Structure 1
Amino acid sequence: MTSFITDMRRSGNGLLLRITIIAAIGGLLFGYDTGVISGALLYIKGDLHAGKFAQQAIVSTLLLGAVIGAVLSGYLADAISRKWTKVLSGSLYVVGALGCAFAVNVPMLIGFRFLLGISVGTASFVAPLYISEVSPPRVRGGLVSFNQLAVTAGILIAYIVDFLLKGVDNNWRWMLGVAVIPGAALAVGMLTVPHTPRWLAEHGRDDEARKVLQRLRSDDPDADVDEELEEIKKASREERGTRTKDLARPQIRPLLVVGIGLAVFQQFVGINTVIYYAPTILSQTGLSASSSITQTVFVGITNVVFTTVAVLLLDRLGRRKLLLTGTVGLTLSLILLGIYFTSSTVQHQAGYVALLALLIYIASFAIGLGPVFWLMISEIYPTGIKSKAMAASTVANWGANFLVAATFLSLASAISREGTFFLYAGISIIAFAFFAAKVPETKDRSLEDIQNDLAAGRDEEGNGQDAATTEGQRHARHNHDLTGKHRGDS
């Protein structure tokens, strides 16, 4: 922790930290809405007479909207800037939260949940992009992961709100309506921060980009603003004119495989069954709705604590080690959950095992796959095509999230609760194999080095068959292949 704080002091002034916190409110929006519906659902299903299908629709429609938001965000982030896209996202969130709070039936609630999803999908994409573009390499991991920390903080706040409001009349309406506060905070807060230097440079506003960089690096004795700006401008020139179809180019495919693989596995290991349905899972152990919500608060606290640990360690131990360690932990906890629901003896004599397994699972996810996915997709893609590639990864993430959330209750009925957790454990084993084989270490490396090594098929240490090639040649070859300037579009 001391090392991270020291690097923060050397790498930027208070502006850098303030920008990071405000941008990460987008993650808090996602976290709050993800967490709050888990408790509210216990009361909505009775008040609005929502059956199993309707409950899944109420949860998953937000995720469908998030897919649309992620698709739009790639275009919006380039066209109107990262800053104004997040202002728009916060404003939409306020409207959606108010609509949910005053919903009079299930269709109305589903409609406004869809609007919330568009906002959340947009914010979840732009937040790590914005933060990565203002952060110096030595603290980029910790700062980008502030977004994931904000997600977990939002989930915890939601669990606490659910707990505090569980005995209030119309409690679920208040639970959903409180979301207006962070939505307004994001919209207003983003009005006070600058555009990113990369976006300004890409739009020919070099003087503004230099001024922003000077403010961001004012306390860093090692910073060379002119050199950094020149690198940004060079990358922008070489990659200008890239289109969505460029994602299919041979040099981009390996990067996209890593990003989409992380996106899909982050959801297919079942994380949001725990977040969305934690009170439901705990109530299936025999607890009352009130007791289930109370115990869920411990899940939220664990999530925040271990995400904080990840933020402090990502730039020290590296992304890859935490990713692999966390995946092992969540696999074992899923197996434990499966065993719990299989054995009636364990359920009667050791009821605490379900909560223990959930806590181990959430801790393992929080130190690994949770923050690493969002950090990685902000690091591995080239500047000119980054927004499109990150949007593709984010769409894949929300799409996978939607499939998991929309099928969990039905899947549990079809193959049993224990069968569902064993299925997620099997997917986690496949995920570990993929991460071990494909995901590189990106700690203390420039974005350009990471992208070149991935495109060339090098391993996590940056070694490969053409390791003797000079850095300048690698950059030239990569950028020429990407833009098609020297090879055509075939």
Structure 2
Amino acid sequence: MGFVKDVRATGNGLLVRVSVIAAIGGLLFGYDTGVISGALLYIRDDLHANKFEQQAIVAVLLLGAMVGALVSGYLADRISRKWTKVLSGGIYFFAAIGCALSVNAEMLIGFRFILGLAVGTASFVSPLYISEVSPKRIRGGLTSFNQMAVVTGILAAYIVNYLFKDVTHEWRWMLGLAAIPGAALAVGMLTVPRTPRWLAAAGRHDKAREVLERLRSGDEDADVDAELDEIEEANDAERETSVRTLFGPRLRPVLLIGVTLALAQQLVGVNTVIYYAPTILSDTGLTNSASLAATLLVGVTNVVFTAVAVLLLDRVGRRVLLNTGTAILLVALLVLGAYFSSSTLQDDYGWLALAGLILFIAGFAVGLGPVFWLMISEIFPSGVRSKAMSVTTVCNWGANFLVAQTFLTLSGWITRQGVFFLYAGLAVLALVFFVLRVPETRGKSLEKIQDEVAGGQE
């Protein structure tokens, strides 16, 4: 329980409060990831949506998220991390209500795209904001509040889908309830300060000191002067940095790490589990109702093991959890591939599919799930951090879109087991890269991490 002890040692409730509020952005991401699989069952009949429209209803949010992630780097630098999140929460609230009131598939598709803009923006700015207000010794745990919110949102969506499946206007309730976290994010972010790093970069040095002193109040180990000096040095370097620097020889290896983490997080197939868990389980012979109930176990596992990661990230380090978690999900993918390859296993060991899904999500939740979002907020120099995180987040959403749109098609082409073995092969490549190239960042200042990663790759 080292993380909990360290948080208490800060003696600062403000730090935890602003981190929790900022993490609501992850809840938006998670809820919409989980809710659409159940809602679509009813949207199809109620709005008479054809297959193309059904696919568009799912996929257009991912496209919107890519656009949102692309522009969020500019917005975060221009109007601050705080106001970018206020904006995303407001857009999300508006779009969720619009989705619930849609009268045809075209209207729903339009509002889902707008919803995606907010989701993509929030998914990028949430970990950035938290990392910039957190002291280094608990930065990993606090930043992972965002991933905890993501998986909580997914579980909440599964529960809502199950509870509202027999209610009149069921899908409208499922989608409309998303307005609640949207409003909570917008209103909550009005009560938190801008990050000291953004304030210092904007030339508001006195305000940056004031905010940092509030965030470190009660922490006997805090050295506000030293932390401000590090921020100022980073901002001085930023003024000499252009966007082209991100693609230059010094930072190219750092960008490679960020983009590889972004792609790997999705290409190991996590969203086949999130989007299609009921479909996968129904193929084992379970009824639709039993499949939905079993899917709740996957959601609970996701939350529990993400909580484990939050407690351990600053205790055992990022690399240990990343590599261990990836190895676990690799084993799970092989189990799932073997299960769908063998009629004997399917006849005599039907529980193996659910066990494989649970093992997979457990490995993802302690590794790639939280570590990706944490590390992209740590490894890039402050001068290009927003834009670099924007690039990596766009790659992540692009890979998400690719996986979501190809799983069922690939299952028809190379069989269900072939898809899981394909994901396993990609997991092997990812694991080798992580072992060879991804650095440990635990307990280091953001500025020191960036200097070591970039300088060590020259």
TM-score, length-scaled by structure 2: 0.97
Aligned to 1:127: 126
Cα distance between partner residues in 1 of 2:453 and 2:48: 51
The residue type equivalent to 1:154 in the other structure is G
Does the 8 A contact of 1:93 with 1:180 survive in 2? yes
The residue type equivalent to 1:414 in the other structure is W
Residues 31 and 177 from structure 1, CA distance in 2 versus in 1: closer, same or farther, beyond 3 angstroms? same
Aligned to 1:406: 405
Instruction: Give secondary structure in 2 for the equivalent of 1:380.
Output: coil
Residues 361 and 61 from structure 1, CA distance in 2 versus in 1: closer, same or farther, beyond 3 angstroms? same
Aligned to 2:335: 336
Aligned to 1:152: 151
Within 5 A, what are the aligned runs for 1:47-58?
A: 47-58=46-57
1:22-61 Cα deviation digits (max 9, x unpaired): 0000000000110111221232233334444433322221
Cα distance between partner residues in 1 of 2:312 and 2:91: 34
Cα distance between partner residues in 2 of 1:389 and 1:309: 28
Cα distance between partner residues in 1 of 2:430 and 2:60: 26
Aligned to 1:465: none
The residue type equivalent to 1:249 in the other structure is G
Deviation at 1:199, TM superposition (A): 0.4
Deviation at 1:241, TM superposition (A): 5.0
Does the 8 A contact of 2:88 with 2:186 survive in 1? yes
Aligned to 2:80: 81
Aligned to 1:91: 90
Cα distance between partner residues in 2 of 1:415 and 1:54: 25
Does the 8 A contact of 1:265 with 1:428 survive in 2? yes
Aligned to 1:393: 392
The residue type equivalent to 2:136 in the other structure is P
Cα distance between partner residues in 1 of 2:167 and 2:285: 23
Does the 8 A contact of 1:11 with 1:136 survive in 2? no
The residue type equivalent to 1:174 in the other structure is W
Cα distance between partner residues in 2 of 1:147 and 1:139: 14
| More off after superposition, 237-246 vs 66-75 | 237-246
Runs of 4+ aligned residues of structure 1 deviating over 6 Å after TM superposition are none
Aligned to 2:161: 162
Aligned to 1:266: 265
| More off after superposition, 189-198 vs 447-456 | 447-456
Does the 8 A contact of 1:83 with 1:190 survive in 2? yes
Instruction: Give secondary structure in 2 for the equivalent of 1:24.
Output: helix
The residue type equivalent to 1:184 in the other structure is A
* Structure 1 unmatched ranges of 5 or more: 459-477, 479-490
Cα distance between partner residues in 2 of 1:449 and 1:69: 30
Deviation at 1:231, TM superposition (A): 1.9
Residues 53 and 273 from structure 1, CA distance in 2 versus in 1: closer, same or farther, beyond 3 angstroms? farther
Deviation at 1:273, TM superposition (A): 1.0
Instruction: Give secondary structure in 2 for the equivalent of 1:87.
Output: helix
1:200-222 Cα deviation digits (max 9, x unpaired): 00001111111101100011112
Aligned to 2:447: 448
Q: How many residues align?
A: 458
The residue type equivalent to 2:387 in the other structure is K
The residue type equivalent to 2:266 in the other structure is Q
Aligned to 1:425: 424
The residue type equivalent to 2:81 in the other structure is R
Does the 8 A contact of 1:166 with 1:290 survive in 2? no
1:406-454 Cα deviation digits (max 9, x unpaired): 2112121222211111111111111111111110111112222221221
- % identity of equivalent residues: 66
| More off after superposition, 283-292 vs 391-400 | 283-292
Aligned to 1:61: 60
The residue type equivalent to 2:312 in the other structure is L
Residues 402 and 308 from structure 1, CA distance in 2 versus in 1: closer, same or farther, beyond 3 angstroms? same
Cα distance between partner residues in 2 of 1:444 and 1:390: 21
Aligned to 2:311: 312
- 1:109 maps to 2:101: no
Cα distance between partner residues in 2 of 1:31 and 1:349: 34
Cα distance between partner residues in 1 of 2:394 and 2:106: 24
Deviation at 1:316, TM superposition (A): 0.5
- 1:142 maps to 2:137: no
Does the 8 A contact of 1:315 with 1:443 survive in 2? yes
Cα distance between partner residues in 2 of 1:167 and 1:122: 33
Does the 8 A contact of 2:4 with 2:311 survive in 1? no
Aligned to 1:355: 354
| More off after superposition, 46-55 vs 166-175 | 46-55
Aligned to 1:367: 366
1:152-178 Cα deviation digits (max 9, x unpaired): 011111111111111112211111111
1:82-131 Cα deviation digits (max 9, x unpaired): 00000000011111111211222222222111111110100010001000
Residues 50 and 412 from structure 1, CA distance in 2 versus in 1: closer, same or farther, beyond 3 angstroms? farther
Does the 8 A contact of 1:56 with 1:409 survive in 2? no
Does the 8 A contact of 1:38 with 1:278 survive in 2? no
TM-score, length-scaled by structure 1: 0.91
Does the 8 A contact of 2:234 with 2:447 survive in 1? no
Aligned to 1:481: none
| More off after superposition, 334-343 vs 358-367 | 334-343
Aligned to 1:230: 229
Aligned to 2:437: 438
Cα distance between partner residues in 1 of 2:166 and 2:227: 55
Cα distance between partner residues in 2 of 1:58 and 1:438: 38
Cα distance between partner residues in 1 of 2:52 and 2:330: 28
Cα distance between partner residues in 1 of 2:118 and 2:198: 21
Cα distance between partner residues in 1 of 2:215 and 2:97: 36
Does the 8 A contact of 1:59 with 1:276 survive in 2? no
Does the 8 A contact of 1:198 with 1:232 survive in 2? yes
Cα distance between partner residues in 2 of 1:11 and 1:132: 16
Does the 8 A contact of 1:56 with 1:405 survive in 2? no
Cα distance between partner residues in 1 of 2:112 and 2:281: 25
RMSD: 1.4
Within 5 A, what are the aligned runs for 1:188-337?
A: 188-240=187-239, 242-337=241-336
Cα distance between partner residues in 2 of 1:406 and 1:113: 16
* Structure 2 unmatched ranges of 5 or more: none
Aligned to 1:462: none
Deviation at 1:344, TM superposition (A): 2.1
